[in-house]
Structure 1
């Protein structure tokens, strides 16, 4: 069988630790092109995979043999590169946040529709085993009505993860557009929408830059969100959690409490109000920590969708809805009021 030929645009840490090894481990894929403004980064991977290296993504997109593009660039380039790739009739897997505005997100969705190619946004939280299990539990009705939630995604910041350390584009508003809210918070808006099975309609938020010097983006945010059925809860996104990473979610429901990734030994715990409990050890959640680079399942799902001509779990429309919550949170902070989503 002819393999799907992949080009990676942006050869920093997310490509190095997630996209490239997961493509390389997929028997249906051949990595054929790498692009980065730092030529040495692209050349390193090109040499390793017997591929071509580029510093100009437009030159890469001219290559007819390339079937798929992974967009792993700074956030401000996600939309323009994704749109150009779709217009060149390439399937696209784009890192999050998918865009810097609703207008850009709409343009990406339109480009995918007009090209007939697949657009997927790399939200990996839906694929975490505890989260998949939680969705089925909520759907089963065992917890009864969901009243509230709290979720957090925080660590010490991208400087320990990014290829450029403390000089990373993550801290530059012009290139990043958004900080911890876009890096981490958008993952949790996507997860909550997926688990609750409904959309958020209102947001209120405090979004601050307090922990990182020489940063022009947010590094600490707390949001209050409300769904269409009236479920309310909090979402925290932070680069100021200078200890163990927090990637937990808790649901407070009619029949008990469900805790996800909130215990080191059990990834899903349910404490029922009748005194019974469940504890599930379902495997470690994906982490940036050294030695925890397990598969996100994102690339596997993306390639399967291309092979089977099926719609990705996180398509452009889904990515746009998750982005909208983050944009509303920013708007709320600026206006100092609750805003509709």
Structure 2
């Protein structure tokens, strides 16, 4: 079969560390274009991987007519880039948060449906080996009902990760709209929905800028979630875990407790009420310092090759985004916010 012609819009660190190398490693993909307002960045990738460099994504879509596009831009550009790509007939993989508001996310979904292309959100936590193992265990039923949970995602902040360091768009409200919640919190709202096979019904949250100077995007959030099943738990996102990141989840269940990502070697630990303990070494989570393949690009390509809608669809992306938006609304109104 012909290779899938892929273009990458936005050539920052997420493209450099994940999207581009993972596409390059996929035998079904030909990288045809790289687009970034800083031409040298796009040119660097074009020289290394082949393809052409652009500064304007509209021009790139018109000239290259790619089969598929990764949108790795600042948050505020996710919707316009994704909609333009869908209208150009390209399948779209968009980084999280898929959009900065529900209306934009809905417009992205509509554009993909109208043009008969797939829209996938880059919610990679579903594909991390410890999370896959945890879900497999939950599905056996041996844990019984999940009664309560805590899930947390924190690191020292995007200045350690972004290609622009402290001058990154991550800290500019007009480009990012949201901070730690859009960067990390949306990963955990997606994870908990998927892991528990349950939807969030209510959110109460404190979302604040506690320590990052010179920015008004949130650097910390603590949320209380009530699921439709009645399960309650906390979701924490932070850019101020300066000594040691955290990507862990603990589920307290009828028949015991499950620790996910709390131990450096045993990524999943199950302690049952009968006293037995099970430890699973299934592979680590990807971190900013230690990259392991995310699986997202391969899943996206597989969807296109097999003409199967992606599991992590635009609709799924919107449901996970809605939790984050409710957290901001709770912070603003000082009220518990219901998700319809």
Q: After the TM superposition, which of the residue ranges 58-67 and 257-266 deviates more from structure 2? A: 58-67
Runs of 4+ deviating beyond 2 Å: none
Q: How far has the Cα of 1:64 moved from its partner? A: 4.6
Give SS of 2:322's match.
Answer: helix
Q: 1:157 and 2:157 equivalent?
A: yes
Q: Is the 8 A contact 2:86 2:92 kept in 1?
A: yes
**Structure 1 match to 2:294:** 296
| 1:189-214 CA-partner distances (Å, limit 9, x unpaired) | 00000000010010000001011011
**Structure 2 match to 1:314:** 312
Q: How far has the Cα of 1:138 moved from its partner? A: 1.3
**Structure 2 match to 1:107:** 107
| 1:144-177 CA-partner distances (Å, limit 9, x unpaired) | 1110000100000000100000000000110001
List alignment gaps of at least 5 residues for structure 1. Answer: none
Q: How far has the Cα of 1:2 moved from its partner? A: 1.1
Distance in 2 separating the partners of 1:8 and 1:169: 18
Q: Is the 8 A contact 2:33 2:64 kept in 1?
A: no
**Structure 2 match to 1:199:** 199
Distance in 2 separating the partners of 1:201 and 1:305: 30
**Structure 2 match to 1:244:** 244
| 1:27-71 CA-partner distances (Å, limit 9, x unpaired) | 010111000000100110111122111001110110354111100
**Structure 2 match to 1:337:** 335
Distance in 2 separating the partners of 1:43 and 1:296: 25
Give SS of 2:265's match.
Answer: coil
Distance in 2 separating the partners of 1:175 and 1:119: 22
Q: How far has the Cα of 1:313 moved from its partner? A: 1.4
**Structure 1 match to 2:282:** 282
**Structure 2 match to 1:133:** 133
Distance in 2 separating the partners of 1:247 and 1:63: 41
Distance in 1 separating the partners of 2:39 and 2:324: 33
Distance in 2 separating the partners of 1:27 and 1:280: 31
Distance in 1 separating the partners of 2:76 and 2:103: 13
**Structure 2 match to 1:6:** 6
Distance in 1 separating the partners of 2:115 and 2:330: 35
Distance in 2 separating the partners of 1:339 and 1:70: 33
Q: How far has the Cα of 1:185 moved from its partner? A: 0.3
**Structure 1 match to 2:96:** 96
Q: CA RMSD in A?
A: 0.7
**Structure 2 match to 1:270:** 270
Q: 1:209 and 2:209 equivalent?
A: yes
Q: Is the 8 A contact 2:32 2:64 kept in 1?
A: no
Change (3 A) 1:165 1:23: same
Q: How far has the Cα of 1:293 moved from its partner? A: 1.2
Distance in 2 separating the partners of 1:295 and 1:177: 28
**Structure 2 match to 1:71:** 71
Q: How far has the Cα of 1:141 moved from its partner? A: 1.0
Query: TM-score if structure 2 supplies the norm length?
Result: 0.99
Q: How far has the Cα of 1:314 moved from its partner? A: 0.5
